Amino acid sequence: MSAPVSVVIPTLDAAGRLGPCLGALTEGLMEGMIAELVLADGGSTDAIAEVAEAAGARLVTAPAGRGQQLAAGAAAAHGDWLLFIHADTVLGPGWTTAVRDHLRDRPDQAGYFRLGFDAPGLAPGLVAAWANLRSRLFALPYGDQGLLVSTALYRKAGGYPAISLMEDVALARRLGRRRLARLGACAVTSASRYAAEGWFSRGALNLSTLGLYFLGVDPERLARRYARRR
Protein backbone atom coordinates (compact mmCIF):
# COMPACT_ATOMS: atom_id res chain seq x y z
CA MET A 1 0.00 0.00 0.00
CA SER A 2 1.36 3.44 -0.95
CA ALA A 3 1.96 6.10 1.69
CA PRO A 4 -1.36 7.85 2.31
CA VAL A 5 -0.48 11.23 3.86
CA SER A 6 0.61 14.52 2.30
CA VAL A 7 2.10 16.84 4.91
CA VAL A 8 1.45 20.55 4.30
CA ILE A 9 3.39 23.22 6.21
CA PRO A 10 2.84 26.97 5.71
CA THR A 11 6.08 28.97 5.87
CA LEU A 12 7.06 32.62 6.00
CA ASP A 13 10.72 33.34 6.72
CA ALA A 14 10.79 30.10 8.71
CA ALA A 15 13.81 28.39 7.15
CA GLY A 16 15.87 28.71 10.31
CA ARG A 17 13.12 27.24 12.51
CA LEU A 18 11.97 24.28 10.44
CA GLY A 19 14.60 21.79 11.59
CA PRO A 20 12.78 20.31 14.60
CA CYS A 21 9.47 20.18 12.73
CA LEU A 22 11.00 18.33 9.80
CA GLY A 23 13.03 16.08 12.07
CA ALA A 24 9.88 14.81 13.77
CA LEU A 25 8.47 13.82 10.38
CA THR A 26 11.25 11.25 9.95
CA GLU A 27 9.17 8.82 11.98
CA GLY A 28 6.43 9.01 9.35
CA LEU A 29 8.87 8.48 6.51
CA MET A 30 10.38 5.44 8.21
CA GLU A 31 6.90 3.97 8.79
CA GLY A 32 5.80 4.54 5.19
CA MET A 33 3.14 7.02 6.25
CA ILE A 34 4.20 10.16 4.39
CA ALA A 35 3.72 10.33 0.64
CA GLU A 36 5.06 13.86 0.20
CA LEU A 37 5.93 17.08 1.95
CA VAL A 38 4.56 20.38 0.65
CA LEU A 39 5.87 23.71 1.90
CA ALA A 40 3.36 26.47 1.16
CA ASP A 41 5.37 29.67 1.29
CA GLY A 42 4.00 33.17 1.63
CA GLY A 43 6.86 35.10 0.07
CA SER A 44 9.89 34.36 2.25
CA THR A 45 13.17 36.19 1.76
CA ASP A 46 15.22 33.51 3.49
CA ALA A 47 16.67 30.20 2.26
CA ILE A 48 13.37 28.33 2.15
CA ALA A 49 14.02 27.06 -1.39
CA GLU A 50 17.26 25.43 -0.27
CA VAL A 51 15.56 23.93 2.78
CA ALA A 52 12.78 22.52 0.61
CA GLU A 53 15.28 20.98 -1.79
CA ALA A 54 17.32 19.44 1.03
CA ALA A 55 14.16 17.98 2.61
CA GLY A 56 12.83 16.62 -0.68
CA ALA A 57 9.79 18.85 -0.35
CA ARG A 58 7.71 20.53 -3.00
CA LEU A 59 7.67 24.32 -2.61
CA VAL A 60 4.54 26.20 -3.66
CA THR A 61 3.92 29.92 -3.27
CA ALA A 62 0.83 31.85 -2.28
CA PRO A 63 -0.09 35.29 -0.94
CA ALA A 64 1.04 35.66 2.67
CA GLY A 65 -1.58 34.51 5.17
CA ARG A 66 -2.11 31.03 6.58
CA GLY A 67 -5.53 30.54 4.98
CA GLN A 68 -4.22 31.29 1.50
CA GLN A 69 -1.04 29.32 2.01
CA LEU A 70 -2.74 26.23 3.44
CA ALA A 71 -5.29 26.24 0.63
CA ALA A 72 -2.50 26.44 -1.95
CA GLY A 73 -0.58 23.61 -0.28
CA ALA A 74 -3.67 21.41 -0.19
CA ALA A 75 -4.38 22.11 -3.86
CA ALA A 76 -0.85 20.97 -4.76
CA ALA A 77 -0.94 17.79 -2.66
CA HIS A 78 -1.71 14.34 -4.07
CA GLY A 79 -2.21 12.18 -0.97
CA ASP A 80 -5.48 10.60 0.09
CA TRP A 81 -5.00 12.31 3.45
CA LEU A 82 -3.71 15.77 4.35
CA LEU A 83 -1.78 16.57 7.51
CA PHE A 84 -1.47 20.30 8.15
CA ILE A 85 1.08 21.42 10.73
CA HIS A 86 2.77 24.72 11.55
CA ALA A 87 6.47 25.36 11.01
CA ASP A 88 7.10 25.71 14.76
CA THR A 89 5.21 22.54 15.71
CA VAL A 90 6.98 19.29 16.55
CA LEU A 91 4.92 16.09 16.49
CA GLY A 92 5.61 13.95 19.53
CA PRO A 93 6.93 10.37 19.51
CA GLY A 94 4.28 7.88 18.46
CA TRP A 95 2.39 10.29 16.24
CA THR A 96 2.59 7.85 13.34
CA THR A 97 0.79 5.17 15.35
CA ALA A 98 -1.91 7.67 16.30
CA VAL A 99 -2.39 8.65 12.67
CA ARG A 100 -2.47 5.03 11.51
CA ASP A 101 -5.09 4.19 14.15
CA HIS A 102 -7.21 7.13 13.04
CA LEU A 103 -7.04 6.17 9.37
CA ARG A 104 -8.15 2.66 10.26
CA ASP A 105 -10.80 3.39 12.87
CA ARG A 106 -12.22 6.81 11.94
CA PRO A 107 -11.74 7.36 8.22
CA ASP A 108 -14.82 9.58 8.04
CA GLN A 109 -13.47 12.02 10.64
CA ALA A 110 -10.72 14.62 10.82
CA GLY A 111 -8.22 14.46 13.68
CA TYR A 112 -6.17 16.89 15.76
CA PHE A 113 -3.37 16.42 18.28
CA ARG A 114 -3.26 17.20 21.96
CA LEU A 115 -1.38 20.49 22.45
CA GLY A 116 1.81 20.92 24.43
CA PHE A 117 4.47 23.65 24.69
CA ASP A 118 8.25 23.38 24.60
CA ALA A 119 8.49 25.12 27.98
CA PRO A 120 7.99 23.91 31.57
CA GLY A 121 5.97 25.63 34.25
CA LEU A 122 2.47 26.45 35.40
CA ALA A 123 1.57 29.00 32.71
CA PRO A 124 2.37 26.72 29.73
CA GLY A 125 0.48 23.90 31.42
CA LEU A 126 -2.60 26.03 32.03
CA VAL A 127 -2.67 27.47 28.50
CA ALA A 128 -2.26 24.00 26.98
CA ALA A 129 -4.95 22.59 29.28
CA TRP A 130 -7.39 25.30 28.20
CA ALA A 131 -6.61 24.68 24.52
CA ASN A 132 -7.19 20.96 24.91
CA LEU A 133 -10.41 21.54 26.86
CA ARG A 134 -11.66 24.00 24.24
CA SER A 135 -10.94 21.48 21.51
CA ARG A 136 -12.85 18.70 23.26
CA LEU A 137 -15.82 20.71 24.50
CA PHE A 138 -16.37 22.96 21.51
CA ALA A 139 -14.65 21.05 18.67
CA LEU A 140 -12.41 24.06 17.98
CA PRO A 141 -8.80 22.96 17.64
CA TYR A 142 -6.35 25.64 16.51
CA GLY A 143 -3.80 25.18 13.76
CA ASP A 144 -0.91 24.61 16.17
CA GLN A 145 -2.60 21.32 17.12
CA GLY A 146 -2.32 20.10 13.55
CA LEU A 147 -5.17 18.82 11.42
CA LEU A 148 -5.40 15.41 9.79
CA VAL A 149 -8.21 15.15 7.26
CA SER A 150 -8.94 13.03 4.22
CA THR A 151 -8.69 14.92 0.95
CA ALA A 152 -12.29 13.99 0.18
CA LEU A 153 -13.60 15.38 3.48
CA TYR A 154 -11.41 18.48 3.18
CA ARG A 155 -12.93 19.25 -0.21
CA LYS A 156 -16.45 18.45 0.95
CA ALA A 157 -16.03 20.95 3.80
CA GLY A 158 -14.85 23.63 1.38
CA GLY A 159 -11.21 23.66 2.49
CA TYR A 160 -9.40 26.51 4.16
CA PRO A 161 -10.91 29.94 3.43
CA ALA A 162 -8.63 32.61 1.97
CA ILE A 163 -8.44 34.66 5.16
CA SER A 164 -5.43 35.80 7.17
CA LEU A 165 -6.66 34.78 10.62
CA MET A 166 -9.09 32.24 12.11
CA GLU A 167 -8.81 29.97 9.09
CA ASP A 168 -8.37 27.02 11.45
CA VAL A 169 -11.55 27.84 13.37
CA ALA A 170 -13.46 28.42 10.15
CA LEU A 171 -12.57 24.97 8.81
CA ALA A 172 -13.28 23.31 12.17
CA ARG A 173 -16.75 24.84 12.15
CA ARG A 174 -17.33 23.63 8.59
CA LEU A 175 -16.30 20.12 9.58
CA GLY A 176 -18.55 20.13 12.65
CA ARG A 177 -18.29 18.34 15.98
CA ARG A 178 -19.16 14.90 14.62
CA ARG A 179 -16.31 15.09 12.11
CA LEU A 180 -13.53 15.95 14.58
CA ALA A 181 -11.67 13.59 16.91
CA ARG A 182 -8.56 13.91 19.06
CA LEU A 183 -5.54 11.88 18.03
CA GLY A 184 -3.62 9.87 20.58
CA ALA A 185 -0.40 11.88 20.40
CA CYS A 186 0.90 15.34 21.23
CA ALA A 187 1.90 18.28 19.05
CA VAL A 188 4.48 20.43 20.83
CA THR A 189 4.51 24.03 19.70
CA SER A 190 6.96 26.84 20.33
CA ALA A 191 6.45 28.93 23.47
CA SER A 192 8.62 31.81 22.24
CA ARG A 193 5.82 34.21 21.37
CA TYR A 194 3.93 33.47 24.58
CA ALA A 195 7.07 34.03 26.61
CA ALA A 196 7.84 37.31 24.82
CA GLU A 197 4.33 38.72 25.02
CA GLY A 198 3.25 37.26 28.35
CA TRP A 199 1.40 33.97 28.69
CA PHE A 200 -1.87 35.36 29.91
CA SER A 201 -1.73 38.52 27.77
CA ARG A 202 -1.41 36.43 24.64
CA GLY A 203 -4.00 33.98 25.90
CA ALA A 204 -6.44 36.85 26.50
CA LEU A 205 -5.74 38.21 23.03
CA ASN A 206 -6.44 34.81 21.48
CA LEU A 207 -9.67 34.43 23.45
CA SER A 208 -10.92 37.92 22.62
CA THR A 209 -10.09 37.37 18.94
CA LEU A 210 -12.11 34.16 18.95
CA GLY A 211 -15.03 35.94 20.61
CA LEU A 212 -14.99 38.78 18.09
CA TYR A 213 -14.84 36.30 15.23
CA PHE A 214 -17.95 34.55 16.52
CA LEU A 215 -19.64 37.95 16.75
CA GLY A 216 -19.05 38.40 13.04
CA VAL A 217 -16.07 40.77 12.95
CA ASP A 218 -14.26 40.54 9.61
CA PRO A 219 -11.19 38.24 9.84
CA GLU A 220 -8.99 40.73 7.99
CA ARG A 221 -9.86 43.38 10.57
CA LEU A 222 -9.09 40.88 13.30
CA ALA A 223 -5.73 40.12 11.67
CA ARG A 224 -4.78 43.81 11.74
CA ARG A 225 -5.88 44.06 15.38
CA TYR A 226 -3.93 40.92 16.25
CA ALA A 227 -0.77 42.27 14.60
CA ARG A 228 -1.02 45.59 16.46
CA ARG A 229 -1.54 43.93 19.85
CA ARG A 230 1.34 41.47 19.54
Percent of the chain whose predicted confidence (pLDDT) is above 70:
99
Lowest mean pLDDT among 108-122, 166-180, 215-229: 215-229
**What is the phi/psi pair of residue 43, to 5°?**
100, 40
Which pTM was predicted? 0.95
* Spacing of C-alpha 80 from chain mean position: 18
State which H helix or E strand residue 54 sits in. Answer: helix 48-55
Helix H or strand E segment including 136? helix 122-138
| DSSP conformational letter for 92 | P
pLDDT mean over 27-47 = 96
C-alpha span between 27 and 24 (Å, rounded)? 6
For the chain, give every domain's residue range.
5-193
Report the chain's mean pLDDT, rounded to a whole number: 94
pLDDT at 86 over 90: yes
Q: What is the band of 171 on the pLDDT scale with cuts at 50, 70, 90?
A: very high
CATH hierarchy code of domain 5-193: 3.90.550.10
Tell whether the model's pLDDT for residue 1 goes beyond 80. Answer: no
CA distance linking residue 37 with residue 167, whole number of Å: 21
Give the confidence band of 229 by pLDDT, cuts at 50, 70, 90: low
Q: What proportions of the chain, in percent to the nearest 5, are helix, strand and coil?
A: 50, 20, 30
Say how far apart CA 64 and CA 5 lie, in whole Å: 25
Q: Is the pLDDT of residue 10 over 80?
A: yes
pLDDT at position 145 is 97
The span from the CA of 9 to the CA of 22, in Å, is 10
The pLDDT value recorded for residue 230 is 58
d(CA 139, CA 203): 18
Please, which pLDDT band fits residue 226 given cuts at 50, 70 and 90? confident
